[in-house]
Amino acid sequence: MIDPGTFPWLIVVAIHFAVIVRAILLDGRDSYSRAAWLLLLIALPVFGVILYILFGEPWISKGFRKRCRRIEEELRPFAPAPVGGDDAAGLTANAFRTFEAASRWPVSVGNTASLAPDSDTAIKMLVADIDSATTSVHLSFYIWLDDNNGTKVVEAICRAAGRGVTCRVAADAIGSRSLIRSAHWVAMQNAGAHLCSLLEAPLGLSFLVGHRTDLRNHRKIAVIDGRVAYGGSQNCADPAFLVKRRFAPWVDILIRFEGPVARQADLIFASAWTQGTGEDLRPVMGRNPPKPSTGGFPAIATGTGPLSPRGTMTEMFVSLLAAAQANVTITTPYFAPDPPLIGAIIAAARRGVAVRIIFPRRNDSRIVGAISRAYYPVLARAGVRIFEYCGGMLHAKTLVADEALVLIGSSNMDRRSLDLNFENSILLQSEKLAAQVLARQGDWLADAIEIDGDGADSRPIARRFTDNLLTIIAAVF
């Protein structure tokens, strides 16, 4: 007969065992993540179970998934049809096909673009476009601060809404919570703008909204009149980035696009907006898409997230690394790659591609910074040149391959961007724009120090132990 005093413990053991079985049986999880969770659950029985319930699976309710998929299917027919063909061939074509598979619409042609010279000028360019808007303004930011640049955009939205432009403004409920709770949010609403706080999730009550609390909309999207789109890493904030000012200045990149790719970016915005508000944007998306420009370049905007097939963002990065034949330069602030991504970087370097990666020297995330350093030795041994930028928090996410292919967007090379967050990326092929982005990367390299093989291996044993241990935790999430 069971002692009544031991019955609660039997329940705890049963729950612990059930969670372990669940962690092993879950389909789609890579073996490193599965092993990491198993180790954590065995080492920390009670705390590990709590962590697994909160973060173990990117769970999204069937209702949320069904609604998102229905919205995407309804909007997809409004993607611009391909006009003619592009001249991409071979490995370059394979990279574009990978992005087409992820977005489920074709590469657009006839696009033009201009690279903003710095973050403050980027906001000035955006404000100027909002001030010249005649029909619609669609904005979505992960972090939107009520600082100088953030306020400039708020005021531009108020002006546009006041003259009758339909303004739809979305901000992540956690990343932009200070603005959402501020008078600026109310001011935009009073001016007539339509507002949406994306992915609201009450602490501890995420089951009420159908998704894990820490699944965030990390996208940065601006589309004006359906014909001008901005893409890159920049949030709506000053480079001083007051919430983390000791890492300032925050160094970002933003590109202004015109052409059919703007419609693709608008569709990515529309899918999240419809999910958050219920507004049917098909009549808006049904308007004539932007016309391609003669001599413009091919580009494709792609949205990824926890509803994408697992590994989609990794496949997109890997396709570009596989396409590279001569050189690749990468900037990423957060580097916690999964096995296929680190393998693709190493494989590119080993076959003779000149691979350079620029990290921030001082990272606002100490854990991710430590994980990045743990990969320095294996990268250096493969021939990858590693640089650390000293001029602030290098937040730009860029990849330039063979001085022609450019990838910019919101996605980092870490597990959160690869598997959990909603992200947006733009891939394009243009030697002219690639040269401009390469020049910007060159500016960052000029203010960086190179970590050679000796430097990569010179960490104290205690530091190496901690950094390498943290790579296991990266797989957990």
150: CATH: 3.30.870.10
Both 260 and 400 in one domain: the answer is: no
Pairing of strands 297-304, 166-172: unpaired
DSSP code at position 168: E
Last residue of a domain, one of 298, 329, 347: 298
Domain membership of residue 97 (yes or no) is no
CB-CB neighbours of 74 under 10 Å: 16
Percent share of the chain, pLDDT over 90 = 70
User: Which distant-in-sequence residues (6+ apart) come within 8 Å of 259 by Cβ?
Assistant: 108, 110, 111, 112, 290, 291, 292, 293, 296, 299
Domain membership of residue 345 (yes or no) is yes
The residue segments making up the domain with residue 49 are 4-55
Both 79 and 228 in one domain: the answer is: yes
Q: Which two tokens stand for residue 399?
A: 């990849």
Domain membership of residue 434 (yes or no) is yes
pLDDT over 60 at 221, yes or no: yes
What's the pLDDT score for residue 304?
96
Both 269 and 162 in one domain: the answer is: yes
What's the pLDDT score for residue 2?
53
Last residue of a domain, one of 239, 265, 298: 298
State the average pLDDT over residues 454-466: 79
φ, ψ at 385 (rounded to 5°): -90, 130
Both 281 and 346 in one domain: the answer is: no
State the average pLDDT over residues 312-325: 97
What's the pLDDT score for residue 3?
59
φ, ψ at 115 (rounded to 5°): -90, 125
Domain membership of residue 303 (yes or no) is no
Both 72 and 26 in one domain: the answer is: no
Mean confidence (pLDDT) of the chain: 90
User: Which distant-in-sequence residues (6+ apart) come within 8 Å of 155 by Cβ?
Assistant: none
Distance CA 419, CA 422 (A): 9
Per the structure, how many domains does the chain have? 3
Both 119 and 228 in one domain: the answer is: yes
State the average pLDDT over residues 278-303: 93
Both 40 and 81 in one domain: the answer is: no
Both 209 and 333 in one domain: the answer is: no
The better pLDDT of the pair 41, 161 is held by: 161
Residue 255: strand pairing partners: 115, 231
Q: Give the helix/strand (H/E) hosting 53.
A: helix 45-55
pLDDT over 80 at 320, yes or no: yes
- pLDDT, tens digit, for every residue of 338-393? 999 999 999 999 999 999 999 999 999 999 999 999 999 999 999 999 999 999 99
Both 209 and 179 in one domain: the answer is: yes
Both 260 and 282 in one domain: the answer is: yes
Both 156 and 276 in one domain: the answer is: yes
Domain membership of residue 98 (yes or no) is no
Q: What angle do CA 228, 234, 235 make, to 5 degrees?
A: 100
Binning pLDDT at 50, 70 and 90, where does residue 54 land? confident
CA 259 vs. chain centroid, Å, equals: 22
- Could you tell me the CA-to-CA distances from 371 to 151, 199, 471, 473, 474 in Å, in that order? 35, 28, 5, 9, 8
Last residue of a domain, one of 269, 298, 327: 298
Both 458 and 350 in one domain: the answer is: yes
Domain membership of residue 144 (yes or no) is yes
What's the pLDDT score for residue 39?
83
Domain membership of residue 304 (yes or no) is no
What stretches of 112-176 show up as alpha helix (H) in DSSP?
Answer: 119-131, 148-162
What's the pLDDT score for residue 420?
87
Domain membership of residue 263 (yes or no) is yes
Q: Give the helix/strand (H/E) hosting 39.
A: helix 31-43
pLDDT over 80 at 474, yes or no: no
The better pLDDT of the pair 15, 128 is held by: 128
**What is the C-alpha end-to-end distance of the chain, expressed in Å?**
42
